Amino acid sequence: MRFMGWDLEAVLSSADPGLFGQLLAAAEKNRLAFRGDEVYVRGLIEYSNQCRRDCLYCGLRVSNRSLERYHLQAEEIIELGLAIYRAGITSIALQAGENSSDREVERIAGVVSELREKSMQERPPGLGVTLSLGEMTYRQYKRLYDAGAHRYLLRIESSDVQVFKRIHPPRQVYERRLECLHYLKDIGYQVGTGVMIGLPGQSYASLAADLNFFVEQDIDMLGMGPYIPHHDTPLAKARDYIIQDAFGTSIKMMALARLMMPDINMVVSTALQNINPEGLRLGVKAGGNVVMPVFTPQEHQAEYALYPNKETKSLESIRLEVESAGYRLCLSKWGDSPHYFNRQLAAGKKEGLA
């Protein structure tokens, strides 16, 4: 698979520092030309670590009995969201383990609409709301969209069906995840997906195919990060790693994604920042233009253990790192993905032609 002279698999598997430098420089040039030097902020509230799913890699999986569980009340989430807005950050992301009961969806729809309404009353345009709550029915996604959420992140984790099967129990199926991504797009969300990098059995060819998958799915937002094994999960016992440098490969994946999809938003994941102190700086230089500082209450941060020893950074230290990379942290804009608007425009034109 090639893109503008880059052989994706060869670049991803190369240990040549010269090639790495060339790729990073090309991605940075492209990013500055298409997206400028702004890095947008989404204040992250991880409001519940209760999860009904059993993903084989994740510390929140329902079978992990050693994890202390928490579930924030609606009032607490609203208070946190408004505090983030009053601190000048205009977008939040609500994330939780999967619980798609109608009752819970209704509760979160209430939270979203109150956050939108109250923040709007305080200062237009109000809070921009991203959700990352896993798989739901079309009706449930629509309920949350109608309540005021406008972006949704649902990672495919690997577009390689064999890798997907390897990291999920049999009842969690690839086709269903794909169907959910299509629902989200049909409803009108800005849709984000992403993958883990360096999973057991995952090859460089599989990662190259992931990049093509993102293009084919016409996604608006992307979140990728290195796989970090969690000791309380079955996948941590695996030893068949093909990708040895998950960090360097993640940076290359970001740079290639930026070249292939110049108008999307791309998150510099916390996993990337946790695995290497240079994660934020290099992630931004590779084309990352969104950061998600954690605003989960301090006492619950360690319990949101998707992977172990997750460290969080203050907004100030994120700002300093972003500036040291030569970029600007932008709190005051929603910073929506231009790809979304381009996609809507193209769809409108098609409809006009029909």
Residues near ligand SF4 (CB under 6 A) are 51, 53, 55, 58, 60-61, 97-98, 134
Q: Which CB sits closer to ligand SF4, 53 or 116?
A: 53
Q: How far is the CB of 23 from ligand SF4 (least distance, A)?
A: 29
Nearer to ligand SF4, 134 or 200 (CB): 134
State the nearest-atom distance from the C-beta of 320 to ligand SF4, in Å: 31
Contact criterion met (CB below 8 Å) for 227 and 199 = yes
Written as six digits, the tokens of 277 are: 């102190």
Between residues 13 and 233, which has the closer beta carbon with respect to ligand SF4?
Answer: 233
95, 138, 152, 217, 276 from 261: Cα distances, Å: 25, 27, 18, 11, 25
Residue 174 has a CB neighbour count (10 Å cut-off) of 18
Q: Of 61 and 185, which has the nearer Cβ to ligand SF4?
A: 61
Smallest gap from Cβ 53 to ligand SF4, in A, equals: 4
Rounded to a whole number of angstroms, the minimum distance from the CB of residue 103 to ligand SF4 is 18
Q: Compute the half-sphere exposure of residue 173: CA atoms within 13 Å on the CB side of its CA.
A: 4
CB 172 → ligand SF4: shortest distance, Å? 8
Write down the least CB distance from residue 58 to ligand SF4, Å: 3
Q: Report the residue count for the chain.
A: 354
Residues 6+ apart with CB under 8 A from 100: 52, 133, 134, 135, 136, 137, 140
44: phi then psi, degrees, rounded to nearest 5 = -90, 125
120: amino acid identity, one letter: M
DSSP 304: -
* Contact status, residue 207 vs residue 249, Cβ threshold 8 Å: yes
Contact 203, 242 (CB under 8 A): yes
Rounded to a whole number of angstroms, the minimum distance from the CB of residue 7 to ligand SF4 is 32
DSSP line for 2-23: EETTEEHHHHHH---HHHHHHH
Q: How far is the CB of 49 from ligand SF4 (least distance, A)?
A: 8
Among residues 219, 299, 207, the alpha carbon closest in space to that of 256 is found at: 207
Q: Which is nearer to ligand SF4, 161 or 345 (CB)?
A: 161
Contacts of 211 (CB under 8 A, 6+ apart): 1, 3, 8, 253, 256, 257, 260
Residue 53 or 150 having the CB closest to ligand SF4: 53
Residue type, 109: A
Indicate the residue among 55 and 180 with the shorter CB distance to ligand SF4: 55
Provide the minimum distance between the beta carbon of 276 and ligand SF4 in the complex, in angstroms, as a whole number.
Answer: 22
